[in-house]
Amino acid sequence: MTKHIVLTGILVSLLFSCSDFLDYNENSDYDQDKLFNTTWSNTDFVTGIYAYLPGSVNDVDGALRSAGCDEAEYVWPTSAIHRFCDGSWSAIRTVDDKWAHYYKAIRACNDYLEHGVGKDWKEFEYQKDYAQMMRKYQNLEWEVKALRAYYYFELVKRYNRIPLITKVLTEEEANQQVPVDYQTIIDFIVKECDEVTEDGKLPVIYDANYDNETGRVSKIFALALKARALLYAASPLNNPDADADPSKWIEAAKAAKRIIDSAGEWNLSLVSFDRLLGADNYKEPEMILVKRLGNTNELERLNFPIGLEGGKSGNCPTQNLVDAYDMKVGQVPDASNPYSGRDPRLAYTVLYQGGNTAYGQQVDILPNGLNGLPQEGATKTGYYLSKFVNISVSLTANNTTTARHSMPLFRYAEVLLIYAEAMNEAYGPDGVTEELNLSARDAINMVRGRSGLDIAPLTSQDVPTKDTFRLALRKERMAELAFEDHRFWDIRRWKIGPETIAIKRVSIQKEEGGTFSYNYTVTTDRVWEDKMYFYPIPQSEIYKNPNLIQNPGWE
């Protein structure tokens, strides 16, 4: 029977209740020999490290991080997510502060790598499953190194210059650490990913030798993390020579191409878009790593339209996002029915007027409609969230149900888009080399050509130049990866913050004869300052460690 690493609320609460395993403050005094002297305690310890993975449906005070950029607006004004948009955050009044969270995770990784590895478990040597047990145990070391690299990536993309810590420190030592620059962290991530993907280390898949477990980090994950990290390092925010020197783009392309070239061998492929959203999406061959949330209705409670029992609205997609979806082949835009003939990914991502919502109903966003203004909590953008929301869930008082949810952290479509972006920046839309023999255009068209979309490939007539392809690539990432925590960071690494503060909305009126009219407006109340490309380092951390250097503009 297949086993799964499922970080449900029950398991996570169990792990966090074990202070010996996860309470890593600087004064921890647990017995290391006792902690790591059994095989199961090592496995449990590493499983606890997985609990730090991102992938929440409630990133910032009830909202997704998508509502902190031009993907969405969050309905309720008291949420801290609005600080991203009104400029009211600071080193003291932080938002999405993950400094302590990820350094706690890294300390757990360092602890395991210092005290949990290198054992031979000779007392089990004559058991028939000893070889398998040792294979699984040895693999924990590579999993932890891969996870530590991921957690460093989550830190560096937020905070820029951070300390690089690879051993367990005392409190005094921790508060004397000196930060290193962005590229040093990227180099460390790449080195770790290269190490754990050497032959004989992380497996490509978890077959019978690993009890068929899913949910653990694999060789493909480490390669994908390397490609993502190199893409960020090549991007304008972190690479002032991005236009003049293609070398960093080429390294990112090579990292992604390593996965693309082995996709067939590794059973990695694109699937129809609807299969990415179902309860069993973690089984799909497109998924590289997902955060298994178990049976829950949190996403539905936070995002079902107001007016439905149990719904409180929440993250409402913008017209900016809707505009990222093209027409299907042979279709032309229809102003009187703007959602007809569109890229099917739109309907899977955005709930628009007349679309199916929970309890067998259609959403009614018209003025005074069941889900429309001026009702408190109704969408202001003209849309509700559809992606990953399970409309079969019931939130009624006498019949509350849940459904299995898994949030993608890495999937194959992103790898193809990493490659397409890097190749375009290095060689233009159609340039190739002997090693990088897939063009940027061919890579992006693999994503657009996935089963069931029926949208046109990007031709040389559509996007003939590097500049036009760049815009098309950014639009494609917005459409394909919506609400998967990419757009917020893409805006930063591309340094396009000022271009994204105008938020588009639509209001719909029903006219005589049953037709609809659509009125499009643009908000002007969001602000952008270039200091926002990186988060402020929490002032509380600088008080503890004066060697830390605050990011420019946040001093």
31 confidence band (pLDDT: 50, 70, 90): low
253 confidence band (pLDDT: 50, 70, 90): very high
33 confidence band (pLDDT: 50, 70, 90): low
Q: What is the pLDDT of residue 429?
A: 98
Interval 291-313: pLDDT, tens: 999 999 999 999 999 999 999 99
177-186: long-range contacts (C-beta < 8 A, 24 or more apart)?
177/545, 177/547, 178/547, 179/547, 179/548, 179/549, 182/156, 182/233, 182/238, 183/233, 183/238, 185/152, 185/153, 185/155, 185/156, 186/156, 186/229, 186/230, 186/232, 186/233, 186/238
Q: What is the pLDDT of residue 32?
A: 64
Residue 225, helix vs strand vs coil: helix
Residue 382, helix vs strand vs coil: coil
Query: Taken in order 181, 182, 184, 185, is the CA torsion positive or negative?
Result: positive
Q: What is the pLDDT of residue 426?
A: 98
Buried b (16+ CB within 10 A) or exposed e, 313-342: bbbbbbbbbbebbbbeeeeeeeeeebbebb
Interval 100-125: pLDDT, tens: 999 999 999 999 999 999 888 878 87
pLDDT at 22 over 80: no
Contact of 52 with 75, CB cutoff 8 Å? no
pLDDT at 207 over 80: no
Average pLDDT in the chain:
92
Q: What phi, psi does 511 have (nearest 5°)? A: -95, 170
Distance from C-alpha of 157 to C-alpha of 99, rounded to nearest angstrom: 11
Point out the least confidently predicted range of 272-281, 487-496, 531-540.
Answer: 272-281
Residue 318, helix vs strand vs coil: coil
Point out the least confidently predicted range of 113-122, 215-224, 389-398, 405-414.
Answer: 113-122
Distance from C-alpha of 356 to C-alpha of 433, rounded to nearest angstrom: 47
The amino acid that residue 513 corresponds to is G
Q: What is the pLDDT of residue 210?
A: 73
Contact of 507 with 61, CB cutoff 8 Å? no
Contact of 217 with 148, CB cutoff 8 Å? no
Interval 326-385: pLDDT, tens: 999 999 999 999 999 999 999 999 999 999 999 999 999 999 999 999 999 999 999 999
Residue 530, helix vs strand vs coil: helix
249 confidence band (pLDDT: 50, 70, 90): very high
Contact of 159 with 537, CB cutoff 8 Å? yes
Distance from C-alpha of 432 to C-alpha of 419, rounded to nearest angstrom: 12
